[in-house]
A and B are shown apart, each in its own frame.
Chain A
Amino acid sequence: MSTVSPTQLTKRSPRESTSATATHIDRFSFIGLIGGISAFSLILLTLPTLIVLLASLSSAQTLRFPPPGFSLQWYLALFNYPELWRATSTSLQLAFWTTLLCIVLGIAASVAMSSSRARWVAAMDALVMSPLALPGIAVGLGMLTFFSTIGWRLSLVTLVISHVVICIPYVVRTTLASLTQLGQSLREASTVLGASSTYTFFHVTLPLIKQGVITGGFMAFLSSFDNITVSLFLSDARTEVLPIRMWSMIENDLDVRAAAISGLLIVSTALLMLVMERVSGLSKFLVKS
């Protein structure tokens, strides 16, 4: 009964080869589609940045692509543009104070949040993270209404306050991630050995969560420097920030000098990223968090 007839044997081999072909088609179609789409996406991701860089070196008088020739004329034109430098200086000051305040408030809150399992931690987490998801334009308008109701005049101070709200999630997220990885045993050890909680914080906790704090601070700095939606409502002529100046340059008359500033911003962001990768392992927090 269990003898295999020759016909059965010959019948089996073609079926096996079709299934092997099917496996190959299955594998190659999968790899091909995934690879093809990712190649397309990576080009899509990179192209606009490269094109802005090339356009900023154009010798043409109007914005056109591809440029007819190359020159540094648009970068040189930036030297005669005092409003731009004022806006840049305001933006840098704003981002500096925002980052500083975010770090101080953020570390304190993160330390408390990581060492408690009480119910308030979840509520606090939702409160701190929500500005990431809520429309910035609504938050900005709300703050404008609020400040004018309580009678505060718009200034760098109100601008910093509004940016802290928008940027705090980055610092808290990366600092909390560092604190969770760290665990509590080292802090406990330090306390058991008689160190005060202040000493423990500055000599044990802070050095160990440094990378998370730096990464969060970097993200906070960049998003403050880049913010438009909130600044739109809370800055006036005296406190004009760079992104708003650039926005009006592009929006109104497509000033080609905007390409040169964009070029400067792209190069400095890329350099900062490389430095941050060395210092704090930026990608570790952004990709794996």
Chain B
Amino acid sequence: MNLKLFSPREWQLALPLALFLHLFYVAPLVFLLASSFQPTPGASGISLANYLRFFGDTVNLKVLGDTVFLGIQVTIACLILGYPVAYVYANAPAKWKSLLTFLILLPLLTSSVVRTFGWVVILGRQGLINSFLQNLGLIAEPIRLLFTHQGVAIAMTQIQLPLMILPIVASLAQVDPRLAAASASLGGGAWRTFWKITFPLTLPGVISGCLLVFSLTVSSFVTPSIVGGGQVMYMPTLIYQQAVVLLNGPFAAAVSAILLAVVLTVVFGLSALGQKSRAYIR
């Protein structure tokens, strides 16, 4: 009888996908990196010209700074707004859960252009906030909300919020409710129990939420380009502009490589923290 239950060839089932990703994902990224060392479009040779140009120009440095700042702002806002929702979800009775699921998932699953469009309607000159303030007589002229960094940050927070909530819900579900009960019976107040017991135990979820929100915020294109309207520039818009409008592929590749480096630094940093927090829980 053949006790080898899985034929040694089973790993070959992963080969098509592995080949596909190496050919159409890893290779393009390598090509991108290589082309960022091209001095000018079409020229041959290797140089650091594009990187020197990026870091030598304060305008570009401001774009990089604004992008990282936006990522940090949106991540913190999502954490403050998202954690309570996840907490309520985890403690909600079953009949409320399906409604909450729907409210959390619908914005996640609707198209990102549609969600951004909603913010144009809210923040626009004749939008919700302006007509509300005008009707109250607080302002005479519509105030400018679109095309500002704060407008982009607000819209991005709403758009990324579900991605913070979901991982926290998953890690709250793994916290043993008896721990909170034990803390309460030993005299721990609600706040103390939360900060000493619940929150530390959900750190892996918090970290993976922050990781997702940060990396998707700094690499998002649609919302910053529409809500920011070309007035506030972020890295993805700069990449698009250089590659498609100005046809400077090598410089766009260098900007992409810098953005990739920022994202990877944050991803590895937070993952290391995540490993530590997981070890702490066990």
Q: B-contacting residues of A (Cβ < 8 Å)?
A: 22-23, 26-27, 29-31, 33-35, 37-38, 40-42, 44-49, 51-52, 55, 62-66, 105-106, 108-109, 111-113, 115-116, 118, 120, 124, 127-128, 131-139, 141-146, 149, 161-162, 164-165, 168, 184, 187-188, 191-192, 197, 222, 225-226, 228-229, 232-233, 243, 246-247, 250-251, 254, 258-259, 262, 265-266, 269-270, 273, 277, 282-283, 286-289
Contacts and interface: CB of A to CB of B under 8 A. Distances in A.
B55 interface: no
B276 to A, nearest CB: 18
Given A29-B190, A45-B158, A251-B225, 14 more contacts: A29-B191, A48-B107, A49-B107, A63-B124, A112-B13, A112-B14, A139-B29, A197-B6, A232-B221, A247-B226, A265-B114, A266-B110, A286-B105, A288-B173
Interface stretch (B45-53, B57-65, B239-247): B239-247
A161 B24 contact: yes
Contacts, number: 300
A37 B88 CA distance: 10
B197 interface: no
Nearest to B250: A145
**Range class of the B interface residue count:** 35 or more
B44 interface: no
B185 interface: no
A45 B219 CA distance: 21
Interface string B219-230: 111100110000
Given A137-B219, A283-B105, A41 B81 contact: yes
A250 B117 contact: yes
20 contacts: A35-B88, A44-B158, A48-B121, A48-B158, A49-B107, A51-B122, A109-B17, A116-B6, A128-B17, A135-B215, A139-B25, A142-B31, A143-B28, A145-B249, A146-B31, A247-B113, A250-B116, A254-B120, A265-B110, A273-B109
B121 A52 contact: yes
B54 interface: no
A188 B84 contact: no
B106 A49 contact: yes
B131 A135 contact: no
